[in-house]
Amino acid sequence: MTHIRPSKPMRESQISMMEIVMPNDANTHGNIFGGRVMSLIDIAGAMSAVRHARHAVVTASIDRLDFRAPIRVGQFIHLQANVNYAGRTSMEVGVRVMGEHPLTGEMSHTATAYLVYVAVDKQGQSAEVPEVVPESEDEQRWYAEAEERRARRLADRLRPLLGG
């Protein structure tokens, strides 16, 4: 008998979170610490992965992270995340980070990150997750791009074994 995995629309994994940047979040230039942004990215990503899998998750990897613009003390930091792709037990989550000037509403794209989470059961063993179903054109593009990144990650994992 063939096992059929359940599936869920990509939109059901979407989360949005927002905070104000306080002085204790900032470096000596008055910008939010990069490490604080990375922590928030991991939190947003994990929440999206848990929402999709309905299991605890662990962070397996984070792709390259480039900071495009600073977020200053007193500004808002917005994080939006959703599961772009789901394998059998792992999920790629995309997280977009935006800064907002609270008085003008001006938004700036600060960073985009792609993280991989693995669902785990109560014994800490990997757990199967539902397939993700992209519906909109954007979601279909995110899914296709995530498939390409997944293929690169798998190739990178094999490269040391192949002497490359």
What CA–CA distance (Å, rounded) separates 25 from 74? 10
Which parts of the chain sit beneath pLDDT 70? Answer: 1-2, 160-164
Domain ranges for the chain: 8-162
Strands 90-100 and 56-62: unpaired
Q: What is the pTM for the complete model shown?
A: 0.92
SS3 81: strand
Q: What's residue 160's pLDDT?
A: 65
Q: Which residues pair with 117 in a beta bridge?
A: 59, 91
Find the angle CA(113)-CA(132)-CA(56) to the nearest 5 degrees. 70
Query: Are 78 and 100 spatial neighbours (Cβ–Cβ below 8 Å)?
Result: yes
Where b means 16+ CB within 10 Å and e means fewer, 59-77 reads: eeebeebeeeebbebebbb
Cβ neighbour number for residue 164 with a 10 Å cutoff: 8
For domain 8-162, give the CATH superfamily.
Hotdog Thioesterase (3.10.129.10)
Q: What's residue 1's pLDDT?
A: 61
Summarised one tens digit per residue, pLDDT across range 71-93 is 999 999 999 999 999 999 999 99
Place of tokens 């848990």: 50
